[in-house]
Structures are given as structure tokens and as C-alpha cells.
């Protein structure tokens, strides 16, 4: 009887040891198992703006500024008295430079001119900016019937887009014929009866000869600084001669190109030269 009791007790103890060992193993596994983390959204890498290359500009920075011009006859201060009649003498003419931009201002009284502030010479950026300024009738000794003083500058000075000679084309303002080529002047007699004169082109590289028929917009020559035996600034001096009625008959004389140039330039900029 006693032996049976001892054997039952030993069996109970063994079963308890086995259970304790099993419980310990399961508990260790449960404690060591990692708890899965909730998924997190991946943060995209922060974009670094591209470095600007020196000299590069966005297209909008390179866009030509809005065109502006001073009134007809408003000359540079101290340069004479302008002709304020706003008649458009050549209403359908083509702007005499092939492409924009172009800048109308004084070569003599502007920056770098003999009567103007020195600045950085004729290539100063202030000479290549709007607004335009009339310089027909600017102080000169040439007979100019339409000027208040009856003498003055007989045309309008036009700077091309850049201060570089023999780069920018001058073109025919109207259909006509090249009737004369002088030392530094090309004469275009238009079918309309007007005379257009182009001064200071590169005379050694003209695109026309005397007697040649030209159409509106045809290339005539490259804007330069030819002035006979000397040089001038890089610009086109552009003139219009027209038959006008003085009340005592018609006179073929110089008229202001300024308003005609304004209208022609606006068409050019609009893509309808």
C-alpha cells in the first residue's frame, strides 16, 4: 500500500515537472516573437532645385520688353525743336530693318554721342532700350523744309538689335527700284513715288545694284558705320522724301519718318510686317 502511494506521488511530480518545462518553452517563444509594426508611407526624397548655369535665363526673362515710344517731335533735351505733325507719310511701308528689336534715338545727343553723356560709349545699354525718341529735325545745318527752323536732321536714326556692324539686314520699305548708290547712301525710288534713302550700310557688301527691281522686304544691305572716308556709329539713317503741297505748288522734300516707323514696327512685332 505504501509502495503504491509513493509510485503515484512520483508520477504526479514528474507530470508537474514536464508541464512546467513545456510552459516555460512556450512562454519564451511567445515573448521573443516580435510584434509586427504598422506599415508607414515612404517619404519621397526632397527635390533639390537645379543649379542655375551662369548666363542662363528662363525664356520669360529673355522676352523682349513692351514697346514704348515718346511722342512725335519730342527730341532729346537740348537737341533742337522737333516737328510735331503726326502724319504717317508711308502708311503701308515695311519696317526698314528685317527683324526686331530696334531702337530709335539720337546718335549725337544720346549716350556716347559728341553732345551726349559719355557713359560706356555708343554701345551703352541705354542706347538699346525703349522708349523710342524722334530725332527728325535734330540740330543740323541741312536744309529741311518741314522743320520749324527750316534746317535740321533729315531722317531718323535706327540702331539695330545689337551694337555689331554688318550683322543686321536693312530691307526695302516698299516695292521699287534702286536708282542710285553713293559713297554711303542707297536710293530706293518706290513705285508709290516716294524716295527712301538708306545711309551707313556696309557699302562693300550690298545686296543690290543700281537699276535692280526690289520687292517690299527684300534685303538691301547690312547695317554698319560707313560714312565715306570716316566712320560713324553703327546705325541705319533712314529718310523719306515725299511730294507735298505747300499751298504754292508741290515740293519733293524730306518728311518725318517717325510715325511711319512706329506703325511699321508694331506690325513687325505682331508678326505681320
Look at residue 247 in the predicted model and tell me its pLDDT. 87
**Residues 110 and 116: beta-carbon distance below 8 Å:** yes
Looking up cell 547690312, which residue turns up? 222
Q: List all residues 6 or more positions away from 152 whose beta carbon is below 8 Å from its beta carbon.
A: 80, 136, 137, 138, 139, 140, 142, 144
Q: C-alpha 188: how far from its chain's center?
A: 29
**Residues 80 and 150: beta-carbon distance below 8 Å:** no
pTM: 0.77
Report DSSP letters for 22-69, one per residue.
HHHHHHHHHHHSPPPPPP-PPPPPPPPPPPPPTT---HHHHSPPPP-B
Look at residue 65 in the predicted model and tell me its pLDDT. 81
> Under CATH, which number does the domain 59-269 receive?
2.70.70.10
Q: C-alpha 164: how far from its chain's center?
A: 15
Q: What is the mean pLDDT of each run of 10 residues along the chain (273 residues)?
A: 44 43 41 38 36 35 78 97 97 98 98 94 97 98 97 98 98 98 98 98 98 98 96 98 92 98 98 97
Amino acid at each position: 500500500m505504501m509502495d503504491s502511494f509513493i509510485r503515484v506521488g512520483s508520477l504526479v511530480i514528474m507530470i508537474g515537472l514536464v508541464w512546467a518545462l513545456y510552459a516555460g518553452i512556450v512562454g519564451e517563444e511567445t515573448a521573443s516573437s516580435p510584434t509586427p509594426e504598422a506599415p508607414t508611407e515612404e517619404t519621397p526624397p526632397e527635390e533639390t532645385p537645379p543649379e542655375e548655369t551662369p548666363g542662363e535665363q528662363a525664356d520669360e526673362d529673355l522676352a523682349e520688353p513692351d514697346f514704348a515710344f515718346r511722342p512725335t517731335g519730342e527730341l532729346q533735351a537740348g537737341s533742337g525743336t522737333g516737328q510735331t505733325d503726326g502724319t504717317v507719310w508711308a502708311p503701308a511701308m515695311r519696317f526698314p530693318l528685317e527683324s526686331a528689336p530696334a531702337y530709335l534715338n539720337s546718335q549725337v545727343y544720346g549716350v556716347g554721342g559728341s553732345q551726349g553723356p559719355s557713359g560706356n560709349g555708343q554701345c551703352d545699354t541705354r542706347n538699346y532700350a525703349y522708349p523710342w525718341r524722334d530725332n527728325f529735325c535734330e540740330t543740323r545745318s541741312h536744309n529741311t523744309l518741314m522743320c520749324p527752323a527750316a534746317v535740321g536732321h533729315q531722317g531718323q536714326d535706327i540702331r539695330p538689335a545689337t551694337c555689331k556692324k554688318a550683322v543686321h539686314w536693312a530691307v526695302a520699305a516698299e516695292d521699287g527700284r534702286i536708282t542710285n548708290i553713293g559713297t554711303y547712301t542707297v536710293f530706293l525710288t518706290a513705285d508709290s513715288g516716294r524716295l527712301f534713302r538708306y545711309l551707313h550700310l556696309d557699302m562693300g557688301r550690298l545686296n543690290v545694284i543700281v537699276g535692280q527691281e526690289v520687292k517690299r522686304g527684300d534685303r538691301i544691305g547690312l547695317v554698319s558705320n560707313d560714312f565715306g572716308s570716316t566712320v560713324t556709329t553703327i546705325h541705319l539713317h533712314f529718310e523719306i522724301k515725299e511730294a507735298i503741297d505747300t499751298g504754292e505748288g508741290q515740293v519733293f522734300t524730306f518728311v518725318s519718318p517717325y510715325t511711319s516707323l512706329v506703325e511699321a514696327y508694331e506690325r513687325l512685332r505682331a508678326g505681320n510686317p
